[in-house]
Amino acid sequence: MKLREYQSKTIEQSRSLLRAGVLRQLIYGPAGSGKSVIMAGIIKAALVKHKRVVFVVNKITLVRQFCKHLRKSGIVHGVVQGDSTWGVDRDILVCSIQTLINRGYPDTDVVLQDEAHSLSDSYIKMHEHYASLGVPVIGFTATPFTKGLGKYFDELIISATIPELIALGYLVDCEIFAPTTIDRSLLPISNGDYEEEAAAKVIDKPKLVGDIIKHWKELANGESTICFAQNIVHSKHICAEFLANGITAEHVDCNTSSDDRDLIYARYESGETTVLCNVDVCSEGFDAPRCSVVILAKVTKNLTRFIQRLCRGSRPRDGKMRWLVIDHSTSSHELGYPTDELPLMLDDGQPKEKGKKQEPKPKLAKLCSNKACCFLIPPGVYPCPKCGFAPEAQNKVFTGEGTLTKLERKWLFSPEELQEFWSSCLGLAEKRSKSRQWAKFLYHDTTRQWPNGLQDIPIEPCQKVLDRDRHNRIRYAKSKFRSAT
C-alpha cells in the first residue's frame, strides 16, 4: 500500500527519535488517518533490520482486525491470544494484553501498542516491564488526552489533525445538531464522567427515545447510522423503537459472541441494516466507512470518549460529503466540534505548581442569543457572524422540548494558512523585539487556536496578522486612556 506523505513523515520522525534515544513514543492520528498503515510501515522497517516486533491490543476484535491488515500487507506473523495462539516463534506477534498478563511478555526489540490512551493496570505493568529492559514502546491513539499519559510516553508525534485531513480529502467534514432538553448539571460525576446509572434514568425515557426516531427521520432518514446508547437496556429500547417504525436496526453489546458480531457488522456494512445500536462496542478500532450519521444518546464530559464515538462517521465513501451528528446527550455544547482545536500534548499527571503562570485555556463558544439563528459563535467574535444579532445584555437561551439546534464550528483554516499565520506572528515578534509567548497569543487572537506542531520559521508578517496586532494595540491604548480619565 502506498503511503501518504504525512504517513511517511510520521514513520521517519519515529525512526529519528529512536536513533536519538527516545524510546517511549506516542503517535497521534485521528480516526481514519490510517494508523494501521503507519504501524505496518514501522513493522516493515523493523523486518528489514531483522528486528522482532510485538504488537499489543486490548480487544480480541482488534487482534483479528490487525492480523487481517498484516495479511493484506504481505507480512507473516503469529498471534498470542488465548486459545487462538499460533506462530509464537515468528518475528511479528499480534498479542492480546490480557493473554500477556497471564502468560508473560515475549522477548522483542520493539513494542507497538494500539489504543495507547488506555492506562489500565495491564498496560501499566507492560510499560514497566519493557522499560526495565530498555525496549522501545511506540503507542498509537486518536485521543491522547488521558491524564498521566506523559508518565509512560516521552514524545508525542502528531501525524495529522482532523482539519488537515478534511482539507486533504482523507476525511469528510461534519455537522452537529443538538437538543437542549437534558440538564446535566444535576448528574453526579464518578471517575471524571457522569455516573452511569443516574444518567440512564435521565436519558432512557420513552419521550426521549421517541425523539431520537423523530429527529433521525427529519435529518437523516435512510442514512447509515451508528447509535451510542447509555447502557445495554437503553440500546435495546432504541433498537426496538427503530424496528417498530419500519427501520432495519440491530443491537450489539459486549456479550454478543464474535461470530454473531461479525454477522451483524457484515449486514450493516452491506446496507442490509440501517441503524447499528450499541453502548461503546463500536467506539474503538471499528472501521465503518458506510456510516454517515452518528447518534449520541450517551452523555459524557470525557473528551476521549466523545471523540472516539463521534468520529465513527468521518471516513469518506461513495461521494459522502459530510457526516452528521445528532446529539441527544447535549455533550457537544460543552465539548464542541471534533474539528475544533484539541489538546494535543502529553499530560504528566502532576499537579501544577502554585504560582506558575499557565497558558490560558481557550474560551468556550456560545450559542447566539437569537433563537431563530442558534449559531454556535466562536469565542471573541461579536456580533453573531451568522445573523448579525448583537444583544445588549447576555441572556440565557431557552428552546422548546425536543428542538434540535445546529452547532456551527469554529472557522477552519488550511494547514498552509495556519503555518503562514504562525510564521507571520514570529516575524512580527522579531521586528518588535517581542517574545515567542507574545507571538503565541497574537496567533491565538488571529486563529482561535494554539500553534501546536507548527514550525518556528519567521517570515514577513501577512496583512491578517498586522490587522490583528493593530486592533490589539488600539484596544490597549483605549483601555489605558479610560483608566487615566
If asked whether residues 170 and 316 sit together in one domain, one would say yes
Residue 29 CA to residue 71 CA, distance in Å, equals 22
Q: Is 334's pLDDT higher than 90?
A: no
Q: What is the mean pLDDT of residues 323-349?
A: 87
Say how many residues make up the chain. 485
Most confident of 97-111, 351-365, 466-480: 97-111
Does residue 356 fall inside a structural domain? no
**284 and 433 assigned to the same domain:** no
Residues 248 and 271 occupy one common structural domain: yes
379 inside domain? no
For the stretch 230-245, pLDDT in tens is 999 999 999 999 999 9
What distances in angstroms separate CA 24 from CA 14, 54, 370, one per listed residue? 10, 15, 50
Question: Using CB atoms within 10 A of its CB, is residue 443 exposed (0-12), middle (13-18) or buried (19+)?
Answer: buried
C-alpha cell at 473: 494595540
What are 245-268's pLDDT values in tens digits? 999 999 999 899 988 999 999 999
Burial-class residue 11 by CB neighbours within 10 Å (0-12, 13-18, 19+): buried
Q: CA dist 341 to 30, 169, 315, 320, 361, Å?
A: 13, 19, 19, 24, 11
- Whether residue 191 sits in one domain with residue 98: no
- List, for residues 155-210, the tens digit of each pLDDT value: 999 999 998 999 899 999 888 887 656 778 778 888 888 888 888 888 888 778 87
Would you state the pLDDT for residue 408? Answer: 58
> Which domain does 29 fall in, by range?
5-160
Domain membership of residue 236 (yes or no) is yes
CB 23 within 8 A of CB 80: no
| Same-domain status, 184 and 115 | no
434 located within any domain: yes
| pTM for the structure as a whole | 0.74
Average confidence (pLDDT) over 98-113: 96
Are residues 310 and 174 part of one domain? Answer: yes
The DSSP result for 192-261, as a single string, is TEE-HHHHHHHH--HHHHHHHHHHHHHHHTTS-EEEE-SSHHHHHHHHHHHHHTT--EEE--TTS-HHHH
Distance CA 376, CA 175 (A): 12
The last residue of one of the domains, among 97, 128, 160, is: 160
Average pLDDT over residues 326-351: 85
pLDDT at 370: 59
- Residues 143, 40, single domain; the answer is yes
What is the per-residue pLDDT for 285? 72
How far apart, in whole angstroms, are the C-alpha atoms of residue 348 and residue 146? 9
What's residue 364's pLDDT?
55
Q: What is the CATH number of the domain that holds 103?
A: 3.40.50.300
- Out of 335, 370, 398, a domain closes at 335
- Give domain status of residue 364, yes or no: no
Q: Which residues pair with 194 in a beta bridge?
A: 189
Q: Which residues, at least 6 apart from 129, have a Cβ–Cβ distance to it below 8 Å?
A: 105
C-alpha–C-alpha distance, residues 21 and 246, integer Å: 59
The count of structural domains within the chain is: 3
- Residues 152 and 171 both lie in one domain: no
120 with 204, same domain?
no
Interacting residues of 258 by C-beta distance below 8 A, sequence separation 6+: 60, 61, 64
Is 156 found in the same domain as 170? no
Q: Specify the pLDDT at position 36.
A: 92
Cell numbers for 343: 489538546
Taking all residues of the chain, what is their mean pLDDT, rounded to a whole number? 85
Contact between 24 and 57 (Cβ < 8 Å): no
Domain shared by 66 and 119, yes or no: yes
Q: Is 358's pLDDT higher than 80?
A: no
Q: Is the pLDDT of residue 436 over 70?
A: yes
Query: Would residue 306 count as lying in a domain?
Result: yes
Determine whether 116 is exposed, middle or buried from the number of CB atoms within 10 Å of its CB (0-12, 13-18, 19+).
buried
pLDDT of residue 93: 96
pLDDT at 57 over 50: yes
Q: Which of 160, 193, 220 is the last residue of a domain?
A: 160
- Quick one: pLDDT at residue 396? 32
Say if 421 falls within a structural domain.
yes
pLDDT of 474 reads: 80
Banded pLDDT at 361 (limits 50, 70, 90)? very low
| Same domain for 209 and 101 | no
At 409 the pLDDT is: 55
Spatial neighbors of 107 by CB under 8 A, at least 6 apart, are: 52
Assess if residue 354 is contained within a domain: no
